[in-house]
Amino acid sequence: MSGIFFANPLFLQLLPLAALPVIFHFLLRLRKKPHPFPTLMFFRRIDPRLSSRKKIREWLILLLRTLLILLLLLALARPRWQRAGGGGRLATVLVLDNSASMTREDAEGMPLIERAAEAARALLREQRPGDTAALVLLVADPAAKRPDGLTADTGSLLDALDDLEAVECAGRPAQALTTARRILDESEAPAAAVHVFTDLQRNEWGRPASPPGLREGTTVRVHQLRPVRDRDANVHFRELRLPPMRIPAGRTFYAEAVLANNGGAAADILLNTAGGGTEAASRELTLMPGAEARTPIALRAEAPGLHARRMWIEGDAFSADNHAGLAFRTLPRQQVRFAGTRTAYGALPHALSPAGGELTGIETHFESGGDEGADGAERTALHVATYAEFIRRSASLSETVERGGRLLLLPAVTGPGVAERPGRLDLALDAPVSWEEGMRLHAAEPAAAIFDGLRGADGEVSLGEARVMRVMPVRGGEGWTTLLRIETGSPVLAYRRFGRGMIYASGAAFDPGWTTLPLKGPFVVLAQHLALESGDGEEPAFQWVAGEPPPAPAAAEDEALSVTAVEGPPLQWRGPPAERPVLCRAGVYKLAAGSETWYAGVQGDGAEGAQDYMDDSVVPAMEGWRYRVAPLAAPRELVDAVGRFREAFDPFPWIILAALAVLFAEGALANRPPLRAAGRAEP
């Protein structure tokens, strides 16, 4: 197919403006008026040819000015002459959307990512000698093998397309388009093109971005793939939460999975958990459209160290966001060290370690000294002391807490019952107050981690209607926060930070003579959470949504970072921390640099299940680029369209040169000296 095509045909409608110089000439020329002269002898001496030459020059100037306007408007219309044959070297960048939403199927039942790869293959097979091409993914998948930059090796690009798989996260258009621009900047080919194959999901492309501008003359085509929309159920992991506590090996604990159904139908699903050499466990759940469910997941590991579990959902219509990885660390059996003898602490030692630590993973130790013992801080979860013992051991216990330890202070069961004022803590305890019937005990901060497992569906903390018969009201200064209080509002248990550690102060001994709490079931949960609660930064494991580079360990700049998949698709990467890869698939990953190690549990991006696509020709993520959006054509039609582009002759620079020549000629004619009659000398 041959002919002339215009990139900006709107300017062709302005071509009549070229007549403006002629119109102005007739409107603004001087009108002739008769003037009396005493003699005409001087006019008769003028050569009549001068007047005719002046008129010719004026019409030439008008013609040149009209031609200049025509050329400028034609240049702005950007004509291209399509011709059969010819060609030239072409640099092509194929940008393929490999995000999770591309796993949906089109009207013919083919996944969108396979349809996009099919179209890209068709373009690559039409490459000519001297042509180069590059493959850029909307998600920089570290597991995808593909050539870097432009290459003339079409076979390697076809192999990369054959192995292409969708990931479990959202695309990153700004990064992909920036990469495409960088690749084209390195090319010396006279023609360049960018082809983007995507479903234009609004979650990815609807956010404004400003990728760097392309070189002049680059053709950009966005080929939109349209999935079949449905109203089926779509359940995904919204959040996975580990309990904020130290987890001793051999102890069963519960993580929390928050699931959401963003689909248009009710979902009957199976929530599965496996990994770490354990048998798979399943749980049936039903979620209504738009509903959210929180479900506990029982976990247990027999040995200390890193452990990984994979989770997946079965039973909904969109599986690309149905997987998650959960990482956690178990510690050796934890110790609670009591300063003094067992009798001073009532029921607390038994609640912490009812069977010597076999069930709870907690051991209790009673010591007359003030040191931590040979096992070190990793095994010591909590120090417990009466106020009298703390005063005697203030220096050593304060230093332990400042280094990151945790300390619980409370009255002795059989204490003297006088007001206490432990130094350095900005804390005072009044003399004991007693009630025969007792005062009702309440949680003052229901969201605190030590109340996990005690909250009901309404968020209220159940303490078994425990009552306090005797208490030394806690009066803390700045920095103290109340956890438990009696119905009059007087604090019973409070906490504050001290250095890098934490101090808890109780105004009641955990003994039936002081409170009925030790006789209630919630006391065991409360005591063990108090013992195992973890401090900030203590646990080197975190949860992450797929699609972003994870936080890197604070390693030195000259130390390499390694990323290894522990659970999920295989991945082994090593390089500078600043270049760490995007974790784009659900699983558990180990990050190590120098002596530091972090563990990342990654879950699929639930936003990818949204069926919200852009239907107009304006793409905010491509702001600043000149592009055209069109539905993806059949491979043959796509190849024909590209062929028409590469066989085109661009006359733009020649039109500009012609306009400059016309401008120079017009200036020369308009500014030449006045005409004189031939053969006549000036007097």
Task: List the CATH number of the domain containing 219.
Answer: 3.40.50.410
Same domain, yes or no, for 641 and 659?
no
Judged against a pLDDT cut of 50, whether residue 373 lies above it is answered with: no
Range of the domain at 381: 340-532
Range with the lowest mean pLDDT among 44-58, 136-150, 438-452, 629-643?
Answer: 44-58
Q: Which residue has the higher pLDDT, 586 or 423?
A: 586
What span, in angstroms and rounded, lies between the C-alpha atoms of 449 and 676? Answer: 104
pLDDT of residue 83: 47
Q: Which residue has the higher pLDDT, 1 or 248?
A: 248
Task: Tell me whether residue 98 is in a domain.
Answer: yes
Read off the CATH number of the domain in which 243 is found.
2.60.40.10
pLDDT of residue 556: 52
Task: Supply the mean pLDDT for the chain.
Answer: 84
Q: Which residue has the higher pLDDT, 151 or 672?
A: 151
Range with the lowest mean pLDDT among 151-160, 365-374, 604-613, 631-640?
Answer: 365-374
Task: Classify residue 428 by burial, with Cβ atoms within 10 Å: 0-12, 13-18, 19+.
Answer: middle
User: Which pLDDT band holds residue 38 (cuts at 50, 70, 90)?
Assistant: low
At 506-555, the pLDDT tens digits run: 999 999 999 999 999 999 999 999 999 876 545 567 888 998 777 766 65
Same domain, yes or no, for 407 and 545?
no
Q: Which residues pair with 564 in a beta bridge?
A: 572, 590
**For 317-359, where are the alpha helices, taking DSSP H only?**
348-352
pLDDT of residue 665: 83
Q: Which residues pair with 297 in a beta bridge?
A: 255
Q: Which residue has the higher pLDDT, 71 or 384?
A: 384
Domain finish residue from 331, 363, 395: 331
Same domain, yes or no, for 364 and 478?
yes
Q: Residue 510: which residues within 8 A CB-CB, separation 6 or more?
A: 345, 346, 347, 348, 351, 410, 517, 518, 523, 527
Rg (C-alpha) for the chain, rounded Å, is: 40
Task: Tell me whether residue 105 is in a domain.
Answer: yes
Residue identified by tokens 């003994």 is 511
Judged against a pLDDT cut of 90, whether residue 382 lies above it is answered with: yes
Same domain, yes or no, for 71 and 174?
no
What three-state secondary structure class fits 71? helix
For the residues 208-215, what does the mean pLDDT come to?
A: 84
Picking from 325, 311, 260, the residue whose alpha carbon sits closest to that of residue 287 is 260
Q: Structural domain tally of the chain?
A: 5
Judged against a pLDDT cut of 70, whether residue 33 lies above it is answered with: no
Range with the lowest mean pLDDT among 120-134, 395-409, 548-562?
Answer: 548-562
Task: Tell me whether residue 75 is in a domain.
Answer: yes
At 295-349, the pLDDT tens digits run: 999 999 989 988 899 999 999 989 999 999 999 989 899 999 999 889 999 999 9
pLDDT of residue 553: 62
At 254-308, the pLDDT tens digits run: 999 999 999 989 999 999 999 887 788 999 999 999 999 999 999 999 899 888 9
Please report the DSSP string for 603-625 in residue order: E--GGGG---B--SS--GGGTT-
pLDDT of residue 426: 81
Same domain, yes or no, for 68 and 127?
no
pLDDT of residue 163: 93
